[in-house]
Structure formats: C-alpha cells, structure tokens
Amino acid sequence: MPSFDVVSKLDWAEVTNAMNQAQKELSQRFDFKGTEAEVERNEDGIVVRASEEDRVRAAIVVLQEKLIRRKVSLKHFDVPKKAEKGPKGSSRILIKVQEGIEADKAREIVKLIKDSKLKVQAAIQDLTVRISGKKRDDLQAAMQLLRGAEALNLDLQFTNFRD
C-alpha cells in the first residue's frame, strides 16, 4: 500500500551557517560596535545577547534575515516577546527551536485528513505522521491539502514515499 511520512525537520547545517554569517555581520556593523552582540547555540535553543534590549532585537532581525536567505523557515523558531536581564545590565533572548511534529499538531493533521473525506489513513508515529492509501492520487491530494493548511503553522516536508 503506498504511503509517505509527514515530518517537520530543520537543516541544522544551514542554521549554523546562518548563525555564523549573522555573528560576522554583528561584529562588523557600525551600529553594533561596543554592544557585545553575539549569537550562540546551546541545548535549549539559540541565545542572542547584547548590552541593550533594542540591540538584541536588532540582532534577532539580522539572524532572521540570514536564515531566510539560506531558505530556512522561520516557523521553526519561537522568539519570546520579553528579553531576560543578564549581568551588568545586559539583555538576552532564548529562541526556542521546534523540530518535529508535536502530539497536538499531529492530532490536528489527522483530523484535517479525516475531515477531508480522502480515502487515506493517517497514523501518528512519534514525531512524524504516516499517511497511507490505496491510490497514489489520493496521497498526492493529501499532500496538497497539508501544503495549503496555513492553520497548522508548521513547515512540513514529505519523505519516505513508497509505492
């Protein structure tokens, strides 16, 4: 039976390249001189630091521009509204990185597929959703349905297509 997997993966090599480019630009730009602005990755996500909150926000904009230029979707990144205060009056923002399809979003995908009345089945498997059906055309219709679903707010990829 033909099937495919719906995943939400992040290309970490491109993210690392974008972070390096952003750090280089932050060190060279005149408006960031003396602000000690930096971008680094840790186990919780991406940390952006600077001496003032407005410089942190500007550094995040630079990082987002570099991510967009490298074709990385910003839907993977959750930027909080408030900056945390650090030592010596500095500010920092922790950008959380969302990879994979969480259980709630997976249930929304399954509900969307079932409500569409397509002749396919959707099953949740850890951080992916497997869609299977008898006809390849039904699977392609399901792909189109998921591509057009803006309410999910996820960057979806379709992998492991088996005929």
Residue 24's pLDDT is 94
SS3 89: helix
Q: Please state the rounded mean pLDDT for residues 104-120.
A: 89
Helix spans in 29-150 (H): 53-69, 103-115, 136-147
pTM of the model: 0.83
Rounded Cα distance, 157 and 126, in Å: 16
Give backbone dihedrals phi and psi of 119, rounded to 5 degrees, phi first: -90, 60
**Residue 153 burial (C-beta neighbours within 10 Å; 0-12, 13-18, 19+):** exposed
Rounded Cα distance, 141 and 57, in Å: 41
Q: Please state the rounded mean pLDDT for residues 150-157.
A: 84
Q: Please state the rounded mean pLDDT for residues 85-100.
A: 88
pLDDT band at 13 (very low <50, low <70, confident <90, very high): very high
Domains along the chain with CATH numbers? 3-8+101-162 (3.30.70.860), 12-97 (3.30.70.990)
pLDDT band at 100 (very low <50, low <70, confident <90, very high): confident
Lowest mean pLDDT among 12-21, 29-38, 95-104, 146-155: 146-155
User: Tens digit of pLDDT for each residue in 21-52?
Assistant: 999 999 998 988 888 889 999 988 999 999 88
β-bridge pairing 38-42 and 45-50: antiparallel
